[in-house]
Structure formats: C-alpha cells, structure tokens
Amino acid sequence: MTDKTTTRRDFLALMSAMGISGLAPVASLAQAQMPRRQIPGSSESVPIIGLGSSKPVSQITEKGIGPIAQVLRVLVANGGSVVDTWPRDPANDAGFGEVISMADLRDSLFVTTKIDKVGKEAGIQQFRQTQRLYQREVLDLVQIFSLTDIETQWPNLKDWKESGSARYIGVTVANEELYEPLERFLKQEKPDFVQINYSITERGAEVRMLPMFQDLGIGVIINRPFMNGEYFQKLGQRAVPPWAANFDCETWAQFSLKYILPHPAITCVLTETSNPAHMAENARAAFGRLPDYAERKRMTAVIDQV
C-alpha cells in the first residue's frame, strides 16, 4: 500500500514498480465489489466510477487498440462498467468497437454514446454508424451532446428507446452556460440521465442542479472530475493533506472523487484517463470511507487556497 500522504507521481511510480499486477484490485478491495447506485426509475444499478474514453479512443489510429483495451480491463477488474463515448472518427470508432466486442469485455460494459449533429437525418445517420462501428445493435445510453439541436434530436432518442435500440436516453452539459437551457428542457421532458460537470474545483452544479435532478428522479453522470487535467496542473507537487487518510484517500485524483461521490444525486462519475495505472487509482476512490460534511468543507478550503 502507498503512504497516505503520497503524491500522484509517487503513487504511479509504485504502481509501475509493481507491474501489471498492481493494476488489479489490491487484496482487501478484491474481496469487495465496487459500490453501485440504482438508476432512478429502474431496478438496475451501475458502479459509481466509470471511464470517459474520448482521449484513449482518439489515440487508436496512432497507438492501436492495446491501450484502450488495457484501460477497460483495469476498469472491469476493479468492478467498473460504465464507459462514456463520443463518436469522432470512423477509424477510431471501429477500433473501439473491436475492443468492446472482445469476449472478456462485451458483456461487462455499460456503453454510452452521444449525438452531436444538427438535423433529424444527420442524427439518425450518426446513430446508425455508431451501432455499426461499435458492433452493438443496442446502446445502453444515448445522449444529446451539449444540448445540440435538442428540439430535433430528442424525438430521435425517444424513438430509439421505444424501438429498443437505446436502453436509456439523456443529455449532456459540461459548462455552466448550459445550465439555464437545461433547466428549460427539464420543464418539458424527463431524460433517464443528465451528464454534468462537477468536481471539487467546479462546484457550480452543487447548489441548484444536483438537488433538482434528485427531485426529478433523474440519473446523474458526472464529467470533468479533474477539469480535463487542469486540476492536477494547479496542484503541482503539493502533497495530499495527511488527514485525507481518515477517509481512505491516497492521491489528489481520489481527493476530488471522494469529494464528489457522497452527493446522493450522483449515479456515476466518469474519470478522464488513457493510463491503466490512473484507472486503477481512480477506481480505488470508490472503496473505503467517504468524507462527511465537515470533511468536505475542509477539502474545499484546501482547494480554494491553491
């Protein structure tokens, strides 16, 4: 085990020294399952830590399918299943489809996709291409990216859910500028999921948006827990406070995740990584004790001083 005040760099150096075995759950964690939360309005639950896969998928044509396959295997080995995707490039998406169709992964993943096109037919074509490239007739969750052409695309998503091509449907936002139009949309429609940015450094969703989702009975997926890497750049080489060990926090990545996870509205947090060791580190945040209210206030005080 790492020292409780280790930095992210120290943690990863130890993981590297341990070799591939260090990417699997440690003995104490392997005996337990990653905590899961119920999808509102359903009898299904999902693990609380997932993967935001845009970066590793975008690297497939350059680095091959090995890196994303390894990240996904680490996610699954640690009890995770949710992998969030965004169609970008047919060659990369075809490689991703090959990976998620592998025998050891195909039935272990909760696969999402997004629609970011303008126009009814363009949205339909994008979804059909995703089905083909991902080699999946049914996607677990289809989302409208950043509310793009939502008046047109939302009826498409409802049609796909009704036909069985999408098990769940939802919308995404990643900045506060979209909160107001999201609220207007939620006065008219009820998606199964909303994906929204939230972290210890981006707390804008905390006061109004998250309680609203909870009241409406909507599943919540969190993006940008590390602000696309800006979080780590701001922290630099600072050490994690020793008192973070009281809630089983070893690294700054876990510091943000442990802050996010106690909120009762949240269903799953997507961690942004293309590194298997980072994936293992992130998954470990799901285990052990979560901070209470007073501890979370203390955590924000630390971050606000950076």
Band (pLDDT 50/70/90 cuts) for residue 88 is confident
What is each CA distance from 267 to 27, 62, 107, 217, in whole angstroms? 26, 33, 20, 11
User: Structure pTM?
Assistant: 0.90
Report the C-alpha gap between 50 and 75 in whole angstroms.
Answer: 7
Q: Does the pLDDT of residue 5 top 60, yes or no?
A: no
What type of residue is 256?
Answer: S
Band (pLDDT 50/70/90 cuts) for residue 25 is low
Task: Give domain limits for the chain.
Answer: 8-18+36-304
The answer to whether residues 280 and 78 touch, using CB atoms and an 8 Å cutoff, is yes
107-134 pLDDT, tens digit each: 999 999 999 999 999 999 999 999 999 9
**Domain over 8-18+36-304 is classified CATH 3.20.20.100:** yes
Checking DSSP bridges between strand 36-38 and strand 45-47, what pairing results, if any? antiparallel
**What's the token pair of residue 129?**
């291409």
Q: Does the pLDDT of residue 23 top 90, yes or no?
A: no
Q: Does the pLDDT of residue 11 top 70, yes or no?
A: no
Residues contacting residue 148 through CB under 8 Å, at least 6 positions apart: 115, 116, 117, 118
9: Cα within 13 Å, side-chain hemisphere: 7
Residue 160: what are its φ and ψ, rounded to 5°? -65, -35
Band (pLDDT 50/70/90 cuts) for residue 104 is very high
